[in-house]
């Protein structure tokens, strides 16, 4: 095995996952969808954001970070 130096990159990853209200909204807007969608299916593809170390330090701070930027993160914007 070659002797290589490993670099450490300290980052935080935030995944934006839909919750039940998102599925409820889709059902309300399109009561006859082409196929029945489940919450687990909606969560198969999620948006991911990589943040530098120190921007968030807890799950609650990650939620606050996303809420402050929701207008930018939201696909509807």
User: Mean pLDDT across the stretch 1-25?
Assistant: 81
Token readout for 74 is 């939201």
**Residue 66: what pLDDT?**
87
| Residue 48 pLDDT greater than 60, yes or no | yes
User: Mean pLDDT across the stretch 7-22?
Assistant: 84
Question: pTM, whole model, 2 decimals?
Answer: 0.59
* Summary count for the chain: helices (H), strands (E): 4, 2
CA of 57: how far to CAs of 3, 12, 34, 37, 70, in Å? 34, 9, 41, 34, 19
CA of 66: how far to CAs of 5, 37, 43, in Å? 35, 25, 17
| Residue 2 pLDDT greater than 70, yes or no | no
- Tens of pLDDT along 30-46? 877 767 788 898 888 88
Average pLDDT, the chain: 82
What is the Cα–Cα distance from 24 to 74, expressed in whole angstroms?
Answer: 17
Domains of the chain by residue range: 11-73
């Amino acid at each position: 095995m070659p002797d290589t130096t490993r670099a450490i990159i300290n980052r935080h990853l935030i995944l934006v996952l839909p919750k039940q209200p998102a599925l409820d909204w889709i059902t309300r807007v399109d009561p006859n969808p082409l196929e029945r969608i489940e919450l687990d299916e909606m969560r198969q593809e999620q948006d991911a954001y990589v943040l530098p170390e120190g921007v968030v330090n807890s799950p609650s701070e990650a939620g606050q970070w996303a809420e402050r930027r929701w207008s930018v993160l939201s696909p509807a914007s």
